[in-house]
Chains A and B, each alone.
Chain A
Amino acid sequence: MNTQIKLILKRYCSDRTRLLDILWDLQGLYGYFPEAVVTQLSESLNMSANDIYGVISFYHFFHDRPTGRYKIYLSDTVIARMNGYEEVRTALEQEANCHFGGTDETGTFSLFYTNCIGLSDQEPAMLIDDVVFTQLSPGKVRVILSQLRQNKTPAEIVNPEGLPSSELAYVERLVKSNIRHKGAVFFKKINHRVLLDKCLNQLPEHIVENMIASHIRGRGGAGFPTGLKWQLCRDVEAEDKVVICNADEGEPGTFKDRVLLTHSPRDVFVGMIIAGHAIGSNYGLLYLRAEYRYLKDYLEYQLQQLRTEGLLGIDFDIRIQMGAGAYVCGDETALIESCEGKRGVPRVKPPFPIQNGYLGRPTNVNNVETFAAVTTIMERGAQWYRSMGTKESSGTRLLSVSGDCAQPGIYEVEWGITLGEILDMVGAQDASAVQVSGPSGECVSVAKDAERELCYDDLSCNGSFMIFDQRQDLLRVVQEFMRFFVDESCGICVPCRVGNVELLRKVDRLIDGKGCQKDLDDLVSWGKLLRATSRCGLGTTSAKPILTTLDTFPGIYQNILTRKQGTLLASFDLKEALPDGGRFREE
């Protein structure tokens, strides 16, 4: 066997649950997965080659065919499309001399579309391998590609001073953090050593009680009470338990976890250590989405520092698990499957992760923001935390604000703030619609909903806050969101796999001017089907862009409806359906 492959396998003890790491290293070596390599892998890992291809082909950033020397992924989002995406896209095709999905003749560039890469406040943006370029323009694209042609590496272009990738300065060179408004909880100076000394000397039960008393709810979106989750996980009797930090920030429009990991990585890691103590675990995983690979060295360095300081690595240690490009892995059970080196498919529940999670162990999964908040709660106290926000939604949360506003970026707000207050704060006087919580959330009307409060009982928010003014075509936004769900559905269950395609087709038909009232009725009824019968949160929420705009902005649909002509459906083009465009019949 090839010695390099041997080395990689040895690094991971030929453990098939580390398949994602093995694949990342192999792709680093070969650029893709040659058949001979997969064959060798299948022998060493005792998996069929197809089984390995099944994993490779599940993830967006793994390639089973050769690509160009540089893999360029352009972030295709509604926000990018509001900021010159089309011009940048065209410039990329011209400069690279190939189309998206292809490679140029010289084998230098491959162009790919990719879904939101967590930079909605600085789009258009693209990844070249694991280096990110933001605020793109056609001119900037031309310069970057010509420098690549002159054998400069992506890192050299964006970081000419050669800052080490383990430093904060490197991350800041690549992306802006745009922290516009700091509140009481996040980005604080905390003495982590003193805090950990205090926490680890407390009884675990006491920490769990503190979390329950703070009333904090999970910040991933579902809003499950964190204290209760910890309590349930603590109550399971088992030797090995696991703490996982979900940094698979895939919801289009969110980027707050990226900024937290950039500026407060220690708050996040210390929150995980505290959780470990509370539930009785000595092992933590941070699942980092592939789109944030440029943060990996920096985060590894932060972990190393914590180990050097004796805060990590004795009773509790943390490993970073790289994802490979799949929105569905934001679902905690899909994320666990992915951590185990498999296709990121949501599990059948029950059992829940707190009973049977990573490698069958009781597993507590929380979001990046939750862990960062935990650290401050332990520092300042549960009552202090609970004094902020509303009765049912305590504390503050981070908003990732993007779209039509003067100051896109990160805002820390207390729960209970109204939609109108947020829009004033971010400079969005002309806003007419806001997509709260991303495509899986709700599209609200500024005219009707300005007084609504951001909280779990009214306008729940997972952090994504995309603003649209009158100029934006909301139906196109809906179309983009549905395309996103079709793209990201894992396909494991029928309603989500089949239904999203049908919903998108209906929206396409409406935009083509061939939709009638029956199509709207179908959208509502099929949307309900997906919501009720899908296996995970992706399918149960994917119809929301349609259902919420139908409710809030019915005009965008009603105004473009057509009528049935005679006995034929409006969407049926008789001429197109007949050979020779129907000429035969007319004669």
Chain B
Amino acid sequence: MTIQISIDGKQITTTAGKTLVDVAAENGIYIPTLCYVKNKTCLGTCRVCSVKVSGNVMSACTVAVSDGMKVEVDEPEVSDMRKALVECLFTEGNHNCPSCEKSGRCELQAVGYEVGMVVSRFPYRFPVRERNHTSGKIWLERDRCILCLRCVEFIHDAESGKKIFSLSKRGAKARIEIDTELVESMSAGQVKVAANLCPVGCIIEKGHGFNEPIGQRKYEKKSIRERAVAKNNNE
């Protein structure tokens, strides 16, 4: 069903039931996301896509558009909330961009630029997080994990369907785990998929690294915003 909605005052004609993040992007309006993956189950973990819908703050990845919806993205209060959530992630873990292999391809870093983050309003925690390098295929750098759950929900063992990545504990103690046996049966292609799916530098493919020189890295060539709103937003 064709419907009308407005985003930041712009009148948009679209189809009822589509996800707000996608509708916005198709119409040239960028809403930052970190856990969202187009055409996959909504994870709703990062809340970085928070916008105002009819005055209420909602995460745009969980909103199905309906007729007459009035959406505010570029609004000071909710823009600052998005920025605050990104800042939360930078202080919760250890994100040393200059030494990270994912730098330039990292969605957290790219979104950090988009929301205009300079320094976090929250105190940096400098947590001590154990790494897992036991697998021959993947480095698990927990320092950088933002618990988006992409790997947990979307990467499964090809044969058994079991989860390769999972969460343990809860709350501030929650942490990402990797099944060191199942990971060994991952194909090279699946390892690449997992590493690319990880929005940060937590899942790193062993044996490769720093392939692109500074200046020619993914988000340097084309920003995360441009990629999101591009009509054909394939890589």
Which residues of A does B touch, CB under 8 Å? 42, 46-51, 53-54, 57-58, 326, 343, 348-350, 486-495, 497-502, 505, 522, 526, 529, 532-535
Q: Give Cα A502–Cα B120 distance, bound, in whole angstroms.
A: 12
A502 near B122 with CB under 8 A, answer yes
Does A54 contact B166, Cβ atoms closer than 8 Å?
yes
Q: How far is the CA of A491 from the CA of B169 in the complex (A)?
A: 9
Q: Is the CB of B47 within 8 A of A534?
A: yes
Query: In whole angstroms, what is the CA distance A348 to B182 when docked?
Result: 28
A495 touches B170 (CB 8 A): no
* Closest chain A residue, CB of each to CB of B177: A50
**What would 28 A/B residue contacts be, using CB atoms closer than 8 Å?**
A46-B160, A48-B157, A48-B163, A48-B166, A48-B182, A54-B168, A54-B177, A57-B168, A57-B170, A58-B169, A350-B62, A486-B172, A489-B171, A490-B171, A491-B147, A491-B171, A491-B173, A494-B45, A498-B88, A498-B89, A498-B91, A498-B172, A502-B123, A505-B123, A522-B121, A533-B59, A533-B81, A535-B47
With both beta carbons as reference points, the residue of chain B lying nearest to A42 in the complex is identified as: B162
Q: Closest residue to B59 on the A side, CB-wise?
A: A533
Q: Is the CB of B162 within 8 A of A494?
A: no
Q: How far is the CA of A493 from the CA of B121 in the complex (A)?
A: 19
Would you call B171 and A487 a contact (CB within 8 A)? yes
B interface list, Cβ under 8 A from A:
42-48, 50, 57, 59, 62, 64, 78, 81, 84-85, 88-89, 91-92, 121-123, 146-147, 149, 157, 160-164, 166-174, 177-179, 182
> What 5 A-B pairs have minimum CB-CB distances, sorted nearest first?
A491-B174, A532-B57, A348-B44, A498-B88, A489-B171
Q: How far is it, in angstroms, between the C-alpha of A493 and the C-alpha of B174 when the chains are bound?
A: 11
Task: Find chain A residues with CB under 8 A from B59 CB.
Answer: 533, 535
B47 near A497 (CB under 8 angstroms)? Answer: no
Given the complex of chains A and B, what is the CA–CA distance between A532 and B81 in angstroms?
9
**Contact (Cβ within 8 A) B182 A343:** no
Q: Apart from A46-B161, A498-B88, what are 14 other A-B pairs with CB-CB below 8 Å?
A: A46-B162, A48-B182, A50-B179, A53-B166, A54-B177, A486-B172, A491-B170, A491-B171, A493-B45, A495-B85, A495-B88, A529-B85, A532-B78, A535-B59
Q: Select A533's contact among B50, B147, B163, B164, beta carbons within 8 Å.
A: B50
**Given A46-B162, A48-B162, is A494 in contact with B46 using a C-beta cutoff of 8 Å?**
yes
Of A47, A348, A501, A534, which contacts B163 at CB under 8 A? Answer: A47
User: Is B44 in contact with A494, judged by CB distance below 8 angstroms?
Assistant: no
| B164: chain A residues within 8 A (beta carbon) | 48
A48 contacts B179, C-beta separation under 8 Å:
yes
CB pair A533 B85 closer than 8 Å? yes
| Chain A contact residues, majority secondary structure | helix
Docked pose: A76 CA to B170 CA in angstroms: 19
Return the contact of B168 from the options A50, A350, A488, A534 (Cβ within 8 A).
A50
- For A46, the chain B residues whose CB sits under 8 A away are 160-162
Q: Which of B48, B64, B88, B177 contacts A53 (CB 8 A)?
A: B177
- With a cutoff of 8 Å between Cβ atoms, the chain B residues found around residue A522 in the complex are 121
> Provided the pairs A48-B166, A54-B166, A532-B50 are in contact, do residues A348 and B174 lie with their beta carbons within 8 angstroms?
no
**Residues of A close to B88: CB separation below 8 A:** 494-495, 498-499, 502
Closest residue of A by beta carbon distance from B182:
A48
B167 touches A529 (CB 8 A): no
B170–A53 contact, CB under 8 A? no
Contact: B169 with A57, CB < 8 Å? yes
Instruction: List the A side residues contacting B45 at CB < 8 Å.
Output: 492-494, 535
| Given A46-B160, A502-B123, A343-B47 contact (CB < 8 Å) | no
Report if A494-B48 is in contact (Cβ < 8 Å); known contacts: A48-B163, A489-B170, A502-B123: yes
Q: What is the bound-complex CA distance between A161 and B42, given in angstroms? A: 55
The minimal Cβ–Cβ distance linking A175 to chain B, given in whole angstroms, is: 28
Q: Which residues of A contact B168 (CB under 8 A)?
A: 50, 53-54, 57
Minimum distance in angstroms from A113 CB to a CB of chain B: 15
Interfacial chain B residues near A53, Cβ < 8 Å:
166, 168, 177
With A and B bound together, what is the CA distance between A533 and B32 in angstroms?
Answer: 14
| Contact between A47 and B162, CB atoms less than 8 A apart | yes
Please tell me if the beta carbons of B171 and A494 are within 8 angstroms of each other in the complex: no
Q: How far is the CA of A57 from the CA of B171 in the complex (A)?
A: 11
Question: Contacts of B171 on A, CB cut-off 8 Å?
Answer: 486-491, 497, 500
For A532, what are the chain B residues with a Cβ–Cβ distance below 8 Å?
A: 50, 57, 78, 81
Contacts of A492 in B (CB 8 A): 45, 147, 149
Residues of chain B within 8 A of A49, CB atoms compared: 179
What is the minimal beta-carbon distance from A146 to any residue of chain B, in angstroms? 35
